[in-house]
Chain A
């Protein structure tokens, strides 16, 4: 089991994982990525720009609240891919975090 000790680690892991879910073509920022952050900051350890942290994770009384904003293929129904991404998020959190996923919000921002 990979250890994701902080929300920032978890959001990084979730972003990378979502990009590999079949039918997911992109992971978008849930909020606009600040230009100065992306242009100035490159994480030394992971060698990824800050923009790679696109899935939002926050802690609540019930566990983790997770939000993802994705693009999906048009080669299968978008709701099918959306549900697949949701299931993958819950499975990933169950496998990699001490806290369980409370709410999971997956929005499709683009198809095709």
Chain B
């Protein structure tokens, strides 16, 4: 079955996906969503990376028409490229990545939250705001060393008519709050970039 959210040529089943998603492809995960996650697949349900990708796919399906409307108005020939760039990022963003330590005074104990979980928090902060889609985020800095300064860089798209003047500060505030609550990162800066519709997204994927 072909994922109905995928425009022609958008791919979604690359080897890169499988490398980041515990062996799954986005196409497989899209089909699992289509089936209502039934019958339950323990391989998928026991994979944190796959769960992140499913959440991102669900969000993308929900908001894609709104973003693509804005995209088509600005650059009608580039909408498929935008979609492909977003899909390509889902696998990368869902990857567990580095372990970010949580403090504990027993040397025999190691507590951590993964970079993928933190990217999921950033994405979820965007999901709570109507008018914005978090395309990707990255943590710059030595997140594996407690106390090291970290910069959070976030790329977003806006829906048609979205109020950027209010949405972007709200997103920055909400990301700061959720990272302060759920991590021990020393976040020095949260940098949010609204993707430039005049630029082909494949140029900076």
Contacts and interface: CB of A to CB of B under 8 A. Distances in A.
Interface in B85-115: 96, 99, 102-104, 108-114
Given A32-B22, A83-B111, A74 B51 contact: no
Contacts of A29: 22, 46-47
A59 B120 CA distance: 34
B102 A82 contact: yes
Interface residues of A, number: 34
Query: By DSSP majority rule, is chain B's interface helix, strand, loop, or mixed?
Result: mixed
By CB atoms of chain B within 10 A, which of A79, A83, A104 has the most?
Answer: A79
Contacts of A86: 104, 109, 111
A47 B124 CA distance: 36
Nearest to A53: B46
B136 interface: no
B121 A112 contact: yes
Interface residues of B, number: 33
A86 to B, nearest CB: 6
A107 B112 contact: yes
Interface of B: 22-23, 42-43, 45-49, 51-52, 96, 99, 102-104, 108-114, 116-117, 120-121, 124, 178, 181-184
Given A29-B22, A86-B109, A109-B116, 19 more contacts: A26-B45, A26-B46, A26-B51, A32-B47, A38-B42, A51-B45, A71-B51, A74-B178, A74-B182, A78-B113, A82-B111, A83-B111, A102-B108, A103-B110, A107-B112, A107-B114, A110-B48, A110-B52, A112-B124
